[in-house]
Chain A
Amino acid sequence: MLAVERFHHAYTPEQLVAANISFDVKAGEIVSIVGPSGCGKTTLLKSLAGLIKPTGGTIRFQGKVVQGVPDGLAIVFQEYGRSLLPWTTVNGNIELPLRYQSITPDECRRRVAESLQAVDLSGFGERYPWQLSGGMQQRVAIARALAYQPKLLLMDEPFASVDAQTRADLEDLVAAVRDQFEITIVLVTHDIDESVYLSDRVIVLSRPPSTVLAQVDIDISRPRDQIKTRAMQQFVEKRSEIAQMIRRPSGSETHP
């Protein structure tokens, strides 16, 4: 689905943020990218989306090199308040990208209703974003991405600006969405617990100039539960493993 080869990026010739990042993502996976602040996670995600052109390296999406925004992916930003358009309703926000796809108005309406149902917001279609709570707004953003029916869903610290209870609900929503819609999800987060809870695999980045420190497989069984899974021995081990890597002062070789 996604192949990143030797991605590197520098804001200015002096500021090299990512030195050499390579990884693959298979169809249907949930992959998290974690790392210390400033290691270029967001830049990487935006490059995956084709919004930024990296200084070097190749990104392939479904076999084709990414140049500009490719078809078939959607992105959910951290700042839901700024990503949703305040001058139109929830329905309007969700159907906006669909207007420019070649689908019939009926299909459009169906998709909007379906995605709202998937995020448990049926009935809120005619509200305005600012009338909803933070968690609900982020769910609208997710619904908008789902209605677009992407093959790949990119999420940039999607739950960082949301309170803890809502975060738990949204995490479970993401897992359910992957199962229901069979999409691939790449999630950037600074929350290690979240990454372990949600993903099939966690990619750990080093400090800038960043490289891939490790790719940690999370083979905890699904479905996962907020309370039970987080108390499991396996969970705690994986979590500490990743936390140690991030805490270490300098980057090191790939962990066996």
Chain B
Amino acid sequence: MSTEGIGIDRRYARAFSAIQSFAVRYGLGIALVIVWEYAARKAGSIFFPPPSEILHRAATLWLSGPPQRLFLSDSVFQDVIPSLLRLMGGWALAVLIGVPLGILIGRSRNLSDLVNPALQFLRAIPGPALIPIFIILLGTESTMRVTLIAFGSVWPILLNTIEGTRTVDPVQLDTVQAFRIPRHAQLWRIVLPAALPKIFAGMRVSLALAVILMVVSELVASTNGIGYRIQNAQIMFLLTDMWCGIVLLALIGYTLNWLFLKFEGRVLGWHRGARGRAATS
């Protein structure tokens, strides 16, 4: 058999397996979209427009601008960008407050035990229930929304940081003590890195929570934002617009999560390696 023949077989095999894995990964999603398209057209319900219509409307809404601005239309700058800025601002605030505070509290066994009941209470207050309070105290501008997002999403970060700080391996702590490493260095070089996996887990949950709070804060007494647009669409019975907003939110949530996981992968590469090692040993 000629080597050329084997090469072609191998190329076919590789192409085939590539197609196969693509089909497995995205096949179901694509099939569902097709089914939805067909069923929506058949049923003709205004509540569930077919995906093609949603896509078309989305393009009109967001991609009908001039080429200088990457074809982005005004509504992107009016609603989407401000929403995202509030979201990231609130979440970043939550991180900046939650991590240092969490480390501070977590360092002391007694303090964290004492503070825990209050934290469990505060984190259990449903975000929406706080909206009226925040509106009355802080008005209806971006400040209120960013604060609400920060206040609501700080808890997973705070609690996870406390937990991560508390559960630093005693062997590691003994080691650095035995080598007479000064306290401030212990914090920075041992406690923080050791707690980092849990902190990142908290940050990820917090991000998802921040997205929810962003939407919620814009469904009440707002003048712009993705949530506002969705609600506006509901009031005006523009179902397709509403669905566009929902799909956009799904995309944002998914992308943010994906980005965060990539970021986490880089920072915590050592953790994956070490855990993988532990699992096999």
Chains A and B directly touch (beta carbon < 8 Å)? yes
Report how far A97 CA is from B180 CA in the complex, Å.
8
- Do the beta carbons of A83 and B180 come within 8 Å of each other? no
Report how far A213 CA is from B48 CA in the complex, Å.
85
Nearest chain A residue, comparing its CB with the CB of B180: A69
- Do the beta carbons of B193 and A85 come within 8 Å of each other? yes
User: Which of A51, A130, A148 is close to B273, meaning CB atoms less than 8 Å apart?
Assistant: A130
- Residues of B in contact with A, size category: 20 to 34
User: Which of A46, A96, A128 is close to B179, meaning CB atoms less than 8 Å apart?
Assistant: A96
User: Which of A73, A74, A85 is close to B172, meaning CB atoms less than 8 Å apart?
Assistant: A85
In the bound complex, residues from chain B placing their C-beta under 8 Å from that of A87 are 193, 196, 270-271
In the bound complex, residues from chain B placing their C-beta under 8 Å from that of A73 are 178
Nearest chain B residue, comparing its CB with the CB of A97: B179
In the bound complex, residues from chain A placing their C-beta under 8 Å from that of B193 are 85, 87-88
Report how far A50 CA is from B179 CA in the complex, Å.
11
- Do the beta carbons of B179 and A49 come within 8 Å of each other? no
The residue in B169, B179, B181, B274 that gathers the most chain A C-beta atoms within 10 A of its C-beta is: B179
Given the interface pairs A82-B169, A83-B171, A130-B273, the reply to whether A51 lies near B177 with Cβ below 8 Å is: yes
Report how far A51 CA is from B169 CA in the complex, Å.
15
- Do the beta carbons of A74 and B271 come within 8 Å of each other? no
Given the interface pairs A130-B270, A130-B277, A131-B273, the reply to whether A83 lies near B172 with Cβ below 8 Å is: yes
In the bound complex, residues from chain A placing their C-beta under 8 Å from that of B190 are 85
Q: Is A75 an interface residue (CB 8 A)?
A: yes
Q: Is the interface of B mostly helix, strand, loop or mixed?
A: helix
CB distance from A91 to the nearest CB of B (A): 14
Nearest chain A residue, comparing its CB with the CB of B193: A87
Q: Is A71 an interface residue (CB 8 A)?
A: yes
- Do the beta carbons of B185 and A69 come within 8 Å of each other? no
Residues from 189 to 238 in A contacting B, C-beta threshold 8 Å: none
- Do the beta carbons of B179 and A82 come within 8 Å of each other? no
In the bound complex, residues from chain B placing their C-beta under 8 Å from that of A74 are 178-179
User: Which of B177, B179, B277 is close to A148, meaning CB atoms less than 8 Å apart?
Assistant: B179
CB distance from B187 to the nearest CB of A (A): 13
Q: Is A86 an interface residue (CB 8 A)?
A: yes
User: Which of A50, A82, A99, A148 is close to B171, meaning CB atoms less than 8 Å apart?
Assistant: A82
Nearest chain B residue, comparing its CB with the CB of A52: B174
In the bound complex, residues from chain A placing their C-beta under 8 Å from that of B175 are 75, 77, 83
Report how far A46 CA is from B175 CA in the complex, Å.
11
Q: Is B189 an interface residue (CB 8 A)?
A: yes
Q: Is A79 an interface residue (CB 8 A)?
A: yes
CB distance from A125 to the nearest CB of B (A): 16
User: Which of B177, B182, B274 is close to A130, meaning CB atoms less than 8 Å apart?
Assistant: B274
0 or 1 for each of A128-151: is its CB under 8 Å from B? (1 = yes): 111100100000000000001000
In the bound complex, residues from chain B placing their C-beta under 8 Å from that of A131 are 273, 277
Report how far A247 CA is from B274 CA in the complex, Å.
40
Residues from 141 to 192 in A contacting B, C-beta threshold 8 Å: 148
In the bound complex, residues from chain A placing their C-beta under 8 Å from that of B274 are 86, 128-130
The residue in A71, A74, A87, A99 that gathers the most chain B C-beta atoms within 10 A of its C-beta is: A87
Using a CB–CB cutoff of 8 Å, the interface residues on chain B facing chain A are: 169, 171-172, 174-182, 185, 189-190, 193, 196, 270-271, 273-274, 276-278, 281
Using a CB–CB cutoff of 8 Å, the interface residues on chain A facing chain B are: 46, 49-51, 69, 71, 73-75, 77, 79, 81-83, 85-88, 96-97, 99-100, 128-131, 134, 148
Can you name 29 A-B residue pairings with CB atoms under 8 Å?
A46-B174, A49-B178, A69-B177, A69-B178, A71-B180, A73-B178, A75-B174, A75-B175, A82-B169, A82-B172, A83-B172, A83-B175, A85-B172, A85-B189, A86-B270, A86-B271, A86-B274, A87-B196, A87-B270, A87-B271, A96-B181, A96-B189, A97-B180, A99-B185, A128-B270, A128-B274, A129-B274, A131-B273, A148-B179
